[in-house]
Amino acid sequence: MRCAEEEPGVKDAALSEGSNIVGRKRPMEAVQDVSTQVAAQRVALLKIDVEGDELEVLRSIEKSHWKLIDRIIAESHPNNTEKICTLLLQEGFCESNISVEIDGTGNSFIYASRF
């Protein structure tokens, strides 16, 4: 298991505690590493909320592992939403099964399903 601090370009998770922001290092593993370790035949739901690096996480998924993922929920910053939706279409998610909701802060929640 690698720690976020060991990976260049990966941001520490920030947890809001009142008015203070506290940085936390989180263990980080690639989707394909986890699915291989547990011998997953299927990933029923992949939830992603990585403070602006959602597109990077999705782009890091190996081609052979995309077919294992049935559903994705991702929080996205506005500048990545369209790129994420395009990537999901390229990886076999149906356009009619991709929806986007925007919250009060401008962040998007992307819901995608293969069926």
Domains and CATH numbers, the chain: 30-113 (3.40.50.150)
Read off the pLDDT of residues 56-115 as tens digits, 9 standing for 90 and up. Answer: 889 989 898 899 899 999 999 888 999 999 999 999 999 999 999 998 888 899 999 988
What pLDDT is recorded for position 35?
Answer: 66
Confidence of residue 41 (pLDDT cuts 50, 70, 90): confident
Distance, in Å, from the CA atom of 77 to the CA atom of 52, rounded to the nearest integer, reads 6
| 60 vs 58: CA distance, rounded Å | 5
Task: In whole angstroms, give the CA distance from residue 115 to residue 92.
Answer: 10
Q: What is the pTM of this model?
A: 0.70
Please indicate whether residue 107 or residue 6 has the higher confidence score (pLDDT).
107
- Each residue of 36-65: b (16+ CB within 10 Å) or e? eeeeeeebeebebebeebbbebbeebeeeb
pLDDT reported for residue 83: 95
